[in-house]
């Protein structure tokens, strides 16, 4: 164990300054536990808030657009949560937190903390955010984990002097504001790219120097090969953990435009004992089962499960990235082609018959270049956003343990 430096002490929440306390949140907050019954009448003006409404640091309204009256809240045994309270999810996904900006009523999956004069609201929000491991440890372990009133009120939080709490909250709020601004920039850029893609791929907007008529083709007419993959038997260990990257649906849904790695791999024996095959670099891998319409361009040779159809284009007829963007744009309509069943599926013939507007190769390339530049800008914003989040997380850890002290 590392030596505790002078002026610090070991506590339930880690090493903190000697002049800080550790308290149970119930010792510095009152609480409101919601009524067990759901309102019957939603004809009031007080937002009825449930777990899905907790989307960010602050909450003032409800996505469901359900509102109740004070009389209805009293009827079902619920109290009105005042502004500047902190609400927390205590069933299912534990520890989702928001600060209440105006009066609300919460359902039984939430718990409300009403800070006393000993703890600053925003500091409380940040302090609770660091205690999710504790929440998991005290939660009742059923199919859906939950914390009761005593569990919620037992959560330990560090308690610096009030002025120091305020300064810590002020610093972390500055980072939250930067993250919010970056998120808004990212969303705006994504919407801009989506609109641009629709205009370029439909021919509504064209570049100077291009006036040829576009041809409408089916995807199957511009490929050299289009074939689904296959999955070796899962219970045969000789088929897995080999040197052939193996693509499953999760790899496609999380990879983005380019597939550069996979979570699992198969052996040569696994390849030979299934309908899987080696998909060459610069193919389009397109998901047909469950998570339908996701796609990537593979930058490594892979084999895929049968949930994917692998498309090797005839590059004398079509530009790889142009077709990628066409299929990406098609995703917004893919649900109309999905066959109903236990899970939504596309069949291979449906994918072959997808109609594509095809300009000349030079115009395809130009469109793909412009959309790729938009992707580059989006990825830069995403990377900057992730860096801001990591910096805030590290700063929060240092400030909420007193590792870095603030001047007050």
- pLDDT at residue number 385: 97
Tokens of residue 11, six digits: 């506590």
- pLDDT at residue number 346: 85
Residues 240-245, mean pLDDT to the nearest whole number = 96
**3-class SS string, 19-31:** CCEEEEHHHHEEE
Residue 179 in this model has a pLDDT that exceeds 90: yes
- pLDDT at residue number 3: 81
User: Whole-number mean pLDDT of the chain?
Assistant: 94
Residues 367-389, mean pLDDT to the nearest whole number = 97
- pLDDT at residue number 280: 98
Residue 240 in this model has a pLDDT that exceeds 90: yes
Percent of the residues in the chain that have a pLDDT greater than 70, as a whole number: 98
- pLDDT at residue number 333: 84
pLDDT digits (tens, 9 = 90+) for 300-326: 999 999 999 999 999 999 999 999 999
pLDDT digits (tens, 9 = 90+) for 260-274: 999 999 999 999 999
Q: Residue 335 — pLDDT band, cuts 50, 70, 90?
A: confident
pLDDT digits (tens, 9 = 90+) for 185-233: 999 999 999 999 999 999 999 999 999 999 999 999 999 999 999 999 9
* Cβ neighbours for 242, distance < 8 A, ≥ 6 positions apart: 265, 266, 267, 268, 269, 270
Q: Residue 165 — pLDDT band, cuts 50, 70, 90?
A: very high
- pLDDT at residue number 115: 97
- Torsion, Cα 394 395 396 401, to 10 degrees, reads 100
Greatest alpha-carbon pair distance for the chain in Å reads 78
Percent of the residues in the chain that have a pLDDT greater than 90, as a whole number: 87
Residue 142 in this model has a pLDDT that exceeds 90: no
* Strand order, beta sheet including 308-313: 223-228, 308-313, 284-287, 295-298, 258-259
Tokens of residue 383, six digits: 């990377």
pLDDT digits (tens, 9 = 90+) for 78-129: 999 999 999 999 999 999 999 999 999 999 999 999 999 999 999 999 999 9
What is the residue whose two structure tokens read 């084999």? 303
């Amino acid at each position: 164990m590392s030596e505790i430096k002078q002026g610090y002490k070991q506590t339930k929440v880690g090493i903190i300054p000697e002049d800080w306390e550790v308290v149970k949140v119930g010792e510095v907050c009152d609480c409101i536990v919601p009524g067990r019954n759901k309102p019957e009448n939603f004809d009031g003006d007080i937002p009825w808030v449930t777990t899905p409404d907790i989307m960010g640091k602050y909450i003032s309204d409800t996505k469901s657009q359900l509102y109740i009256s004070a009389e209805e809240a009293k009827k079902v045994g619920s109290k009105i949560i005042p502004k500047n309270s902190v609400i927390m999810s205590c069933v299912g996904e534990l520890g989702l937190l928001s600060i209440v900006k105006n009066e609300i009523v919460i359902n039984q999956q939430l718990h409300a903390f009403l800070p006393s004069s000993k703890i600053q609201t925003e500091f409380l929000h940040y302090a609770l955010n660091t205690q999710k491991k504790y929440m998991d440890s005290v939660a009742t372990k059923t199919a859906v984990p939950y914390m009761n009133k005593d569990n919620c009120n037992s959560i330990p939080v560090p308690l610096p002097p009030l002025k120091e709490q305020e300064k810590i909250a002020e610093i972390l709020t500055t980072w939250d504001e930067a993250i919010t601004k970056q998120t808004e920039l990212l969303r705006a850029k994504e919407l801009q790219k989506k609109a641009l893609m629709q205009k370029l791929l439909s021919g509504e907007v064209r570049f100077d120097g291009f006036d040829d008529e576009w041809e409408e083709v089916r995807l199957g007419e511009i490929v050299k090969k289009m074939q689904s993959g296959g999955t070796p038997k899962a219970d045969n260990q000789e088929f897995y953990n080999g040197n052939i990257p193996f693509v499953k649906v999760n790899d496609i849904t999380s990879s983005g435009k380019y597939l550069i790695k996979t979570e699992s791999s198969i052996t040569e024996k696994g390849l030979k004992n299934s309908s899987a095959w080696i998909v060459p670099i610069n193919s389009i891998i397109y998901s047909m089962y469950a998570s339908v319409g996701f796609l990537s361009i593979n930058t490594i040779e892979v084999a895929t499960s049968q949930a994917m159809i692998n498309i090797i284009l005839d590059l004398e007829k079509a530009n790889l990235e142009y077709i990628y963007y066409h299929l990406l744009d098609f995703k917004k309509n893919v649900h109309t082609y999905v066959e109903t069943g236990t899970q939504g599926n596309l069949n291979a013939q449906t994918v072959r018959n997808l109609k594509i507007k095809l300009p000349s190769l030079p115009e395809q390339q130009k469109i793909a270049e412009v959309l790729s530049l938009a992707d580059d800008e989006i990825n830069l914003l995403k990377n900057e956003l992730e860096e801001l989040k990591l910096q805030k997380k590290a700063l929060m850890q240092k400030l909420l343990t007193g590792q870095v002290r603030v001047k007050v």
